Amino acid sequence: MQRGKFIVFEGLDGSGKSTQLRMLEQRLGTLGRTVFRTAEPTGGGIGQTIREALSGEKPCSTAVLAALFLADRIAHNEEIAAHLDAGEDVICDRYFYSSMAYQGPGTDPDWVADMNRRCPAIAKPDLCVFLDMDYRRCKARLDAGRDRLEIYEQDLSVMEATRTAFLSVFRRYENEDRIVIVDADRDRDAVAEEIFAVVKKVL
């Protein structure tokens, strides 16, 4: 049995990741492929603790948050591996690139990168798709669509800095990882077509 492909989506909140994940899942289904769609943080116990921290309900330091994401990701990889080994494609909303972009600047970027990328229990994805959208538009979407914002969504300058951090991470690993930056500031169908064309190259 051929192992499935592991594809992760990154981007600022409000960039359309959830929509594009659903659209890709449907398109892969038309090829007869079985897809497992997932996200980080997970719905497990550690993931719930992370969500409480992100909401501001139970604040913690950036270093603790980075470590929580690591633990959640290790547990998540057991589930991811089982689906990949069963021949299913796994498409994931956020992965270790998010840790490097969100928590790296607030702690030590090399520490966050190393503990994720050098951990033997954490797989490197076959493809990372970054949905790049103007941070001001992302913020406007969040303000219009949510009653309560998470800690990284409240300040426009934080969202701008996070986008810059993402791009810095991608430059750092552009020769090691398969990373594609997609202009998400367009019609969603056009974005989906570009993503599908990229994904087909790794199937």
Residue 112 has pLDDT above 90, yes or no: yes
Report d(CA 6, CA 125) in Å as an integer.
5
Task: Give residue-wise pLDDT tens across range 69-109.
Answer: 999 999 999 999 999 999 999 999 999 999 999 999 999 99
Q: What is the pLDDT of residue 147?
A: 87
Residue 172, in any domain of the structure? yes
Report if residue 16 sits inside a domain. Answer: yes
Number of domains in the chain: 1
Task: Indicate whether 114 belongs to any domain.
Answer: yes
| 89-93 and 127-132 beta bridge pairing | unpaired
Strand partners, 38: 92
Task: Examine residue 25 and state whether it is found in any structural domain, yes or no.
Answer: yes
66 within 8 A of 19, measured Cβ to Cβ? no
* Inside any domain, residue 1: no
Q: What is the CATH number of the domain that holds 98?
A: 3.40.50.300
Asked if residues 121 and 77 have their Cβ atoms less than 8 Å apart, the reply is: yes
Establish if 65 belongs to a structural domain.
yes
Which range marks the domain in which residue 79 is found? 6-200
The pLDDT value recorded for residue 131 is 98
**Mean pLDDT, the chain, as a whole number?**
97
| The pLDDT value given to residue 33 | 97
Domain assignment present for residue 194? The answer is yes
The label of the residue with tokens 């409240």 reads: 154
5-52 pLDDT, tens digit per residue, is 999 999 999 999 999 999 999 999 999 999 999 999 999 999 999 999
Confidence of residue 132 (pLDDT cuts 50, 70, 90): very high
**Cα-based angle 179, 87, 2 (whole degrees, multiple of 5):** 85
Beta bridge partners of 129: 9, 180
22 occurs within a structural domain = yes
